[in-house]
Amino acid sequence: MKRIILMLILTVFIMGCSEQMEKTQEIEDIVEEPELKPETEESISPPDEELQKEPVIINEKELFCPDYDGNEQECFLHEECEWDAQENNCDLIGRVNEEDDNNKDDKEAGFASELENGLPNTIPNKICKKLPLTNQLNPGDRHYCFALVNHNAEFCKNIDDEEKEVNRCLAHATGDSSYCERLQDDSAKHVCYYMLAVSSENADFCSEIDYSLHEKEQCYFTFVSNLYWFDQSDEITTEYCSQLGDPDEDTCLALKERDVSLCKNNVNCLTFFEQEMSFCDSKGSILKDCVRDRAMTSKDVSICEELSGEKKDDCIGDFCTHIQLDLAICDKITNIQERQSRYVEVAMNLGNDARGGN
């Protein structure tokens, strides 16, 4: 009987232990279950990772704005981009002025020379200090500009460029046409003589062109037409006009007197006087600069918008260097090399005005 009772007690004890172990396992399973949930796909991505997407988008923007460098209209189509007219490129909004501020001093130090320190603070010199307009352009134009407006050949020594640029610089800084004679290329030689005549305000340099009668006459005619555009017709002499053949001599006399009746029916002369825009109809092959002349004669640069590409740039360039000496107008020129060239011309013309007391 005792043995039976003992066996019953052991059985109850064993069953109790078994139940306790099962409950303990259930508790452990409940505790461990949350640790198994991260294995599901939805729970592996922490919420913080969603915030990492924005920088990726920003980086993409940084990459595609430069794709529109040289294409102003395309740049404007993207609201996160802005156009840098000075550099002719497209960049993220806020970057243009920031980069300009950071690099301005470095650029100035890189292109400046000690000779600049002693120069007077004139407007022409201020213009020269803006050059080059971008790192990609030749800094030789800066030194040439200073040499030209200050008539100082020392600046020409800073030009580390081909020989023709140095000779051009020396010719215009010293007023010595022998440097023009050294140039091998006839086109460069013509520009050298013409610019020498303009910078020195002396048409006699045109008479030294002995390699081509046509080039000689072109030099005189351009000199005369410049005086006309500058409203200085009283400085045109009959001697200048006599250097030209027919019908350019008659045109020269018309410009001298500012009298359109002297043109008769010569369209090449009539275009220098105010005409309706319809005047240019069917004259494209005869007057390649007819629309430009309408802008010049009416003193309205907006007419240049009728043109495109190189012709538009030429129109704006001639306007800002002859009609209104204004860099803000020159800045509308698309081709940055052409724009820089016009900066030099504006500086030269302002320098001539200052020396002439105008």
In whole numbers, what is the pLDDT of the chain averaged over residues? Answer: 81
β pairing state of 89-92 and 81-84: antiparallel
pLDDT of res. 54: 38
* 3-state SS assignment for residue 245: coil
pLDDT tier, 56 (very low <50, low <70, confident <90, very high otherwise): very low
b/e code 134-149 from CB counts within 10 Å (16+ = b): beebbbbbbbbbbbbb
Q: Model's pTM, two decimal places? A: 0.70
Report the pLDDT averaged over residues 317-323.
98
Kindly state the average pLDDT of the residues 11-31: 47
Q: What is the pLDDT of residue 97?
A: 54
Answer yes or no: are the C-beta atoms of 324 and 303 closer than 8 Å.
no
Instruction: Give per-residue pLDDT as tens, 238-285.
Output: 999 999 999 999 999 999 999 999 999 999 999 999 999 999 998 777
Q: Is the pLDDT of residue 141 over 90?
A: yes
List pLDDT tens digits, range 143-194: 999 999 999 999 999 997 677 899 999 999 999 999 999 998 888 898 999 9
Q: Calculate what percentage of the chain has a pLDDT beyond 70.
A: 74
pLDDT confidence of residue 39: 43
* Percentage of the chain exceeding pLDDT 90: 56
At which residue do the structure tokens 């369209």 appear? 267
* Beta strand segments in 3-147, E: 81-84, 89-92
One DSSP character per residue, 286-300 reads T-TTHHHHHHHHHT-
Confidence of residue 47 (pLDDT cuts 50, 70, 90): very low
